Amino acid sequence: MNNSLPKFDSFQELSRFLNKDQKKNGPVRRNGRGTDELRPIKVVKNYLKYAEGSVLIEAGNNRIVCSATIEDRLPPFLRGSGQGWISAEYSMLPRATTTRNIRDSVKGRIGGRTQEIQRLIGRALRSVVRLEQIGERSILIDCDVIQADGGTRTLAITGSFVALVDALWGCIERRILEQKSLVKDFLAAVSVGVVNGQELLDLNFDEDSSAQVDMNVVMTGQGKLVEIQGTAEGNPFSRETLNQLLALAEKGIGEIINLQKELFPQGLP
C-alpha cells in the first residue's frame, strides 16, 4: 500500500489537499477554531498621537502596540552610505503574561529572547524596503506587548509592517520622501506547529507550550519566504511535516496580507 502524498505544484494545492477532510469533521481545537484558522485579527491605526506610524494590533488575546519613528541619523557603520536603516525594539509589559515579568531596565540587560525577536523584526522589515530610496534615515520600530497569548513575535512583525507603511506614506504626504516604490511587497508572519500530532495554524500559548513542533514563518505578499524558524521539541520531524506546516503558514499569511491590503487601499508607498 502506497501512503505517500501525491505531487503538488504549489503550497496552495497542498493546503487544499490537507484540509479537505478537516472541514467535514469540524473544529478540533479547544478554542473552537479549525486547524487552519487564524485567531480574529483587529488593527487600530494611528493608535499613538505622536508617532509617525502606529497601530494597536490584536489577535485573540494578544495585544501589541507597534510604532515607527523616522529620524535623520544612522548607525555609524552606515554614515555616508546613502542608504537608510531599519531596527526594532521589542518588550513585554510586566503583567502581559500570567505571572509578572521583571523589566529589562530593572535587570540591567536585554534578555537573549528579546534580542532574538528584535533582530528578527528588523531583518523582516528590511527585506521588503528599498533602503537606498529612503536616504540616510533610520526607521526605529517599537513593539510593546501589553497582553500575550502565544505568537507575539509574528504578530509584532505583522503590526510593525503596517506602522512602517503608515509612517512612509506620512513622509510622502509631507514631501520628506518621494514616492519611488519604497516598499517592494507586503509582509506578514504567523506561527504554525504540531500539537498532539496535528498540524495547527496560529498557535496560542496553551498550544505553543505543548507543541511537538514549533515554527515561525515570515513571508511576502508574493509568497516568498523571508525567514523560517522551526524547532522539534523532542523527536525530529519529517520533510512532509515541514511541507504541511509551510502550506498552513502560507494560507494564514495570505489572509493576513489581504487584511493589510484593506488597510491601505492606496497601495504601498
Look at residue 7 and tell me if it is in a domain.
no
| Each residue's pLDDT expressed in tens, for the chain with a length of 269 residues | 455 556 655 554 554 555 554 444 445 688 889 999 999 999 999 999 999 999 999 999 999 999 999 999 888 888 888 899 999 999 999 999 888 988 887 887 788 888 999 999 999 999 999 999 999 999 999 999 999 999 999 999 999 999 999 999 999 999 999 888 999 999 999 999 999 999 999 999 999 999 999 999 999 999 999 999 999 988 999 999 999 999 999 999 999 999 999 999 999 99
pLDDT the model gives residue 25: 42
Question: What CATH number should be reported for the domain holding residue 182?
Answer: 3.30.230.70
Look at residue 194 and tell me if it is in a domain.
yes
Look at residue 1 and tell me if it is in a domain.
no
Residue 157 CA to residue 152 CA, distance in Å, equals: 9
**For residue 129, what is the enclosing H or E element?**
none
Q: Are 186 and 161 in contact (CB under 8 A)?
A: yes
Q: How far is CA 214 from the centre of its chain?
A: 15
Q: Are 81 and 136 in contact (CB under 8 A)?
A: yes
Q: Are 25 and 16 in contact (CB under 8 A)?
A: no
Look at residue 26 and tell me if it is in a domain.
no
Look at residue 58 and tell me if it is in a domain.
yes
At 85, list the grid cell. 536603516
Q: Are 44 and 163 in contact (CB under 8 A)?
A: no
Q: Are 186 and 218 in contact (CB under 8 A)?
A: no
pLDDT the model gives residue 28: 66
- For the entire predicted model, the pTM comes to 0.88
Q: How far is CA 198 from the centre of its chain?
A: 22
Q: Which domain holds residue 179?
A: 33-263
Strands 187-195 and 213-220, sheet pairing:
antiparallel
Look at residue 4 and tell me if it is in a domain.
no
Look at residue 81 and tell me if it is in a domain.
yes
Number of domains in the chain: 1
Look at residue 258 and tell me if it is in a domain.
yes
Residue 177 CA to residue 171 CA, distance in Å, equals: 6
pLDDT the model gives residue 23: 43
| Count of alpha carbons within 13 angstroms of residue 182, beta-carbon side | 27
